[in-house]
Each structure stands twice: as C-alpha cells, then as structure tokens.
Amino acid sequence: MRRPTAAVVGTIAGTALLVGARLGTPPAGDRAGQLAEETAGAPDQATPTTTGTAAPHPGAVSPSGTGRPAPPASSRTTASPKRTATATATRTRSSAPTSTGLRAGTYPGSTVTHKYGTLRVTITVAGGRISAITESYATSLPVSEQINQDALPKLRQEALAAQSARIDTVSGATYTSGAYRTSLQAAIDRAGG
Amino acid sequence: MAAARLGLRRVEQIMGTAISLHIADPLPPDELAALADETFAWLREVDRRFSTYRADSEISRLDAAAVDLADCSPDVSAVLDACAGLWRATGGWFDVYATGRLDPSGYVKGWAAQVASDRLVAAGAGNHCLNAGGDLRVRGRPASADKWRVGVRHPWLPDRTAWVLEGTDLAVATSALYERGLHVIDPYTGHPATFLRSVTVVGPDLGVADAYATAGVAMGEAGLNWLATLDGYESAAVCEDGRAFRSAGLPAVDSQP
C-alpha cells in the first residue's frame, strides 16, 4: 500500500497530500498504530507534512512550512483552482491495525472557513488505505455551495493588439544589457521625453 | 518646453540589465543627482548580495553552505521570508529552489526596485518611474501628463505594445519567454514552462508582482485562471498560441492615443 489513487487524491489536493505523506509506512502493525496515534489529538494544531499543492488560491488556507513542495500525485491542469485545506485528522473510532498500514476508521478534519463558507473534509480508511475523501460545505446561505464550486473570476480573452502608442516606459521580459540597446525602452530613454 | 528640461533621467547597467530612472519632480539638479546616485547605489548593493552569478554573493555562499543564514544581512532573511510566504501564497508555483539551487531572482529585482521607489517617495521625489529591466514602479505623474503610461511589450514584436496601462501608483512586472528563452522552470516537473509566452502582473508591490508573474508562467494554462483570483493584483497574459487574456480590472487604456 502506497499512495492513494490519483483520482482520490485529486479531489482535495491539500488534505489528500497531507494524509498521503503519512501513507507508505512499512507494513507493520506497530507503525500503523503509531500513525493513527499521531493523527489523533491536538485538533487545533496544523500538521504540515507535505508541502505544495496544485491549488493556489490566496484566500484559502495553505499548508505551512518552508521546505520544497512535493510533486502532487494528481494532474495539476484543472479548469479551476482547487481549494486547499489544512486539516488535522481526529480519530473517532478505531479497529485493530491492519497488516498493511493505516488503522481503519473515519477521520473528520477540522473545519476551514474560507471566503464563501466553511469546508470540512472527512477521510475514510479501510483496508489500510484511504477509501474515501468527502468534502462538505456548511454555510447559512443556500447559494453558497454553488459559489464554492464556481464563483471564481476569470480572465477575459481579447484580440492581441500591436500598438505604437505614446508611452513613458515599457514592461517586458528582463532584457540583457546588450538586448537593451535595441529595445523600445532604450528608444524612450534616448528620446528623453 | 521648459518642463521637459526639469527632472532627471538616468540609465545604468546593473544586475545584468539596464535600470532606467526618470524622476519628474522639479527638484534642484544636485538634489536629483544625489537621489539618483543613492538609487543606483542601492541596486548595486542588492546585486552584490543577491546575484546568483557572483560566487561571493550572500545568496551563493548561503546556497553553498559556506555561511549560515544567521550570519547574512537582515535583507537576506527578509527576502527569503518573503519568498517563503509567496511559495505558500502561490501553492508552490513560486519556488526559489525550482532550478535545483537557491535562486530568488524572480522576487529580488522587483523587491529592490520597490524599496528604491519607496525611498524616493520618502525623500520627496513622489513623481518617478523606476524601470528595472522590465519590472517597474511608477508614482505620481510625468511632467507632461496626468498619469504615467506604461506599455506592455508585445510578445512577438519588440517595438510594439500589446497593452498600454495608465496610473499614478502602479507596480508592473512581466515574466516572459522572448528574451532569455525557456528560463522559467515548473517546480513540480523540473522542466521549462512553455504554454504562456508572457505574463504581466499589476498591483501595489513590485516584488510580489514579480513573483506572481513568475508563478503565472510556471503554471502554464492553469495560470490563466489563477491570475484572475489574485486579490489586489491585475494581470495580462499571452499564450504561446497567440491568445491574449486580461483581468477585468487591468488599468489599460483601450483607445489609441
């Protein structure tokens, strides 16, 4: 048992990675018990294990930590950025550790409040692996679930212009000192007004 | 016109590129010269401390573990802290280790110019344009108009603009592939990003705009949606296939002059 399937991980990138980092423990009962022990308790403390997600939303909670991001298990080309959620799994019921890794059970994460409501992620473990990840949105506004799913602003497409407008300065890719000499910016600097 | 003779313009080669300073305030010439001297001295200092092309820069020595972070200048800590925050804010797409070694240059140039611009304002030169090799900060207005007019370089035609932005308090940063080739690395694959040819970000802080533009290019197609979600920052992007996109609030002048 190693990482959860990409399809499962892809549903909630941040939390899945968080838990995913704890998977891959060697098949040993003690380690599995230890793992479940680790995830229980301290519900208010974020547990940043992996870093980096494919869900760059500035308003959402991101995993903390300054190390390098681990490559995501799922594809990152999505139509809209996913929310990240830092969740601490809290054990609600347990059973005997399996020989392959995680202790079976349902682990509700903490509730994350973001711009359009609150999000709670719940992870179900069975057979030593994550068998389900569910998201639930809880808000007082009936339309907010729709907002959660599809309210993000988009860039608007337009024709690419090619103007010779009067300008004071140019923003572009960093030119080398040599390339500067023949650049539009150099022409402006020479003209001096 | 007499107004065209006031103020100061100076260009110096620092950080491997050309830094263009235009101060429009009608201050005495020796004062303007002193402000320009200080501005360029600061940028040279930043280059000495942060250049990845200098083996003796603090950043290079830090990366080689020849020095501890605690023994580096406070600016180094501040920059690396800011980069860590931007790594989080961009979901890992702005990553100073994307190339395999420590390289904060996607933030440093913008940050340095932002600091320089802030100092000019504090010193009484609140009307200026500081362009650090394509990442720029405008404050106030030029002598001959109410707002600064900033062209966004066309991604294929070097002497044309794709957009003209207008403003009195703008940071404008562009990350693009038409000068240094495929130099923006996808931190998740280690391969060069290729989908977006040019990303321009506009907002209040040039270091942040610089990092966001870099992250946008690194993300490829997903960057188009991500850029639209930035709070307080507008953007414009051009795909390698020629499609152009802009945010709703981009301060662009839509008509020809």
**Residue A153: its pLDDT value, please?**
86
Q: Using the predicted structure, report yes or no on whether residue A183 has a pLDDT greater than 90.
A: yes
Calpha distance A18→A112 (Å, rounded) = 15
CB contact under 8 A, A152 and B228: yes
Selected for mutation to probe chain A from B10, B131, B246 (highest A CB count within 10 Å) is: B131
CA distances from B105 to A34, A144, B37, B52, B213 (A): 42, 40, 23, 8, 12
From B60's Cα to the closest Cα of chain A, the distance in A is 18
ipTM value: 0.96
Contacts of B4 in chain A (CB under 8 A): 192-193
Contacts of A151 in chain B (CB under 8 A): none
- DSSP E strands in chain B: the ranges are 8-14, 17-23, 128-132, 135-139, 148-153, 161-167, 169-176, 196-203, 234-239, 244-246
Calpha distance B147→A166 (Å, rounded) = 12
For B1, the token pair is: 């016109």
Mean pLDDT over A152-181 rounds to 95
Mean pLDDT over A175-193 rounds to 92
Predicted structure pTM score: 0.70
Residue in chain A closest to B188 (alpha carbons) equals: A71
Element (H, E) at B110: helix B105-122
Calpha distance A66→A166 (Å, rounded) = 44
**Residue B172: its pLDDT value, please?**
98
Selected for mutation to probe chain A from B117, B156, B161 (highest A CB count within 10 Å) is: B161
Residue in chain A closest to B154 (alpha carbons) equals: A162
3-class SS of residue A125: strand
**Residue B119: its pLDDT value, please?**
98
Handedness of CA B53, B55, B56, B57 (dihedral sign): positive
**Residue A6: its pLDDT value, please?**
38
Sheet bearing A129-138, strands edge to edge: A105-114, A117-126, A129-138
Contacts of A183 in chain B (CB under 8 A): 158
3-class SS of residue B98: coil
Mean pLDDT over A10-21 rounds to 41
Tell me how crowded residue A30 is: count the other CB atoms within 10 A of its CB: 10
Q: Express each pLDDT in B133-185 by its tens digit.
A: 999 999 999 999 999 999 999 999 999 999 999 999 999 999 999 999 999 99
Mean pLDDT of all residues belonging to chain A: 58
CB contact under 8 A, B237 and A171: no
Contacts of B154 in chain A (CB under 8 A): 160-162
CB contact A68 to B (< 8 Å): yes
Residue in chain B closest to A152 (alpha carbons) equals: B229
Q: Express each pLDDT in A61-85 by its tens digit.
A: 333 333 444 333 333 333 333 333 3
**Residue A117: its pLDDT value, please?**
59
Q: Strands B128-132, B17-23: parallel, antiparallel or unpaired by DSSP? A: antiparallel
* Residue closest to B170 by CA, chosen among B79, B234, B237, B96: B234
Low-confidence spans in chain B with pLDDT less than 70? 1-4, 255-257
In the structure, what pLDDT confidence band is assigned to residue A147 with cuts at 50, 70 and 90?
low
Element (H, E) at A130: strand A129-138
Residue in chain A closest to B178 (alpha carbons) equals: A173
Can you tell me which residue has the tokens 């960093």? A174
Q: Express each pLDDT in A81-126 by its tens digit.
A: 333 333 333 333 444 444 456 778 887 776 666 655 566 677 788 8
Contacts of B16 in chain A (CB under 8 A): 176-177
The DSSP annotation for B133-200 comes to: TTEEEEES--TTSSSEEEEEEPSS-TT-EEEEEEESEEEEEEEESTTTSS--B-TTTSSBP-SEEEEE
Contacts of B210 in chain A (CB under 8 A): none
Mean pLDDT over A146-168 rounds to 84
Mean pLDDT over A46-66 rounds to 36
**Residue A152: its pLDDT value, please?**
78
List helix spans (H) across chain A.
Answer: 6-9, 13-20, 29-39, 144-150, 177-180, 184-191
Contacts of A56 in chain B (CB under 8 A): 89-93, 215, 219, 226, 229
Selected for mutation to probe chain A from B225, B247, B256 (highest A CB count within 10 Å) is: B225
